[in-house]
Structure 1
Amino acid sequence: MFFDSWNEFFRVLVMAGLAYPILIAAVRASGKRTLSKMNAFDLVVTVALGSTLATILLNRQVALWEGAVALGSLVTLQFVTAWASVRFRGVRRLVKAEPTLLLHEGRLLHDAMRGQRVTPDEVRQAIRAQGTGALELVHAVVLETDGSFSVISRSQHGSGSAMDGVRERRTRHHDV
């Protein structure tokens, strides 16, 4: 059905006009991290915020104040979890994945790729996207906690201090 009634149409407009500023206020009060994509946990919270806003707008059985409480609760829980993960290692381990080394010194780490469900073609694509045409020119490829790939060329490796905290499984290396 394309259209129920003018009343519903105007209800959605009014709810959007009221709920949107509530969302903006909640996000601004909680800080920049609320809408970041730093890790999978942050992504889930961002999707949940969008879903909650949509429910507020489209479900007439959800009152505006109930939606505001839901948005505020999600933002508060995300803030508390992020705060605790910075201060407590156990919380950090619970909610955050570790970056994983997928290629080292030009050699694919097949066990690590298999463990992260990444194909060699995906690693090669990430390398090509950085403008590099040969695996042997790459020092490392890291699957980051947000699902992106970081490609570190041999010429940019330096001391390697950026690799601290990257999980390197003791795996067998395979030549490509």
Structure 2
Amino acid sequence: MAILLGIDWAELFGFSVPISEMIIRGTAIYWFLFIVFRFVIPRDVGAIGIADILILVIIADASQNAMSGDYKTITDGMVLIAVMVGWNLAFDRFAFYFPAFRRFATPASLCLVKDGRMLKRNMRREFITDDELWGHLRMDGVESLDQVRAAYLESDGGFSVIKKAGSEHHNPHSPSRSESM
């Protein structure tokens, strides 16, 4: 392409790295990060803390060079972004249509309270302290564990509480949901 307005259009929109290499790099990093976030980093209880933001920034910076292969053009960046978005959409579709893939891609809900009793083993598994659990129970209007039939850490990090029949103090602004089992 010709240089127009002092801009080398070929340098901006050409390819500096082969497309196949970008697809392979993007795919490899996407799968690696998925495995890390799905199986290594525990779910947080519905909140993003400073440490979470920091780890995301560091991972993004560290993975950029591994994905890019030192790309230099806008088109290279667009292809790499398209690969990452494509994998994300594929995961969503696979999880919707294939239950076996959904079980792999999305952690199951984890029961933290059953019939008014804290399940300490499950709490330890996700590093949830008594104080964190009580904070979420209070947001749902729970004053005593006797009011709780079950409380779950959901796959998205949210919290849901199923109260026993006849329990009082429902908080309509709570993000939790009450359901019968």
Mean Cα deviation higher: 97-106 or 67-76: 67-76
Contact 2:71 2:77 in 1 (8 A): no
CA deviations 1:21-42 (Å, max 9, x no partner) are xxxxxxxxxxxxxxxxxxx66x
Residue type matched to 2:102 in 1? R
Matched, 1:71 2:90: no
Whole-angstrom distance in 2 between the partners of 1:159 and 1:95? 26
TM superposition score normalised by structure 1: 0.53
CA deviations 1:114-144 (Å, max 9, x no partner) are 2222122211111011222111112211011
Shift of 1:62: 3.6
CA deviations 1:83-128 (Å, max 9, x no partner) are 1122223322221110100001211011111222212221111101
Contact 2:162 2:180 in 1 (8 A): no
Alignment of 1:33-44 (within 5 A): none
Contact 1:140 1:152 in 2 (8 A): yes
Aligned length: 112
Structure-1 residue corresponding to 2:91: 81
Q: 2:143 aligns with which of 117, 122, 133?
A: 133
Contact 1:84 1:91 in 2 (8 A): yes
Structure 2 gap ranges (5+): 1-11, 13-36, 39-55, 168-177
TM superposition score normalised by structure 2: 0.52
Give percent identity, aligned residues only: 26
Residue type matched to 2:92 in 1? A
Q: Which has the higher helix share?
A: 1
CA deviations 1:64-87 (Å, max 9, x no partner) are 111111211111111112211222
Residue type matched to 1:131 in 2? G
Change (3 A) 1:159 1:129: closer
Contact 1:123 1:141 in 2 (8 A): no
Whole-angstrom distance in 1 between the partners of 2:91 and 2:85? 10
**Structure 1 vs Structure 2 CA RMSD:** 3.2
Change (3 A) 1:61 1:84: closer
Structure-2 residue corresponding to 1:9: none
Whole-angstrom distance in 2 between the partners of 1:84 and 1:61? 30
Whole-angstrom distance in 2 between the partners of 1:80 and 1:158? 31
Q: Which runs of 4+ in 1 moved over 3 A?
A: 59-62, 155-159
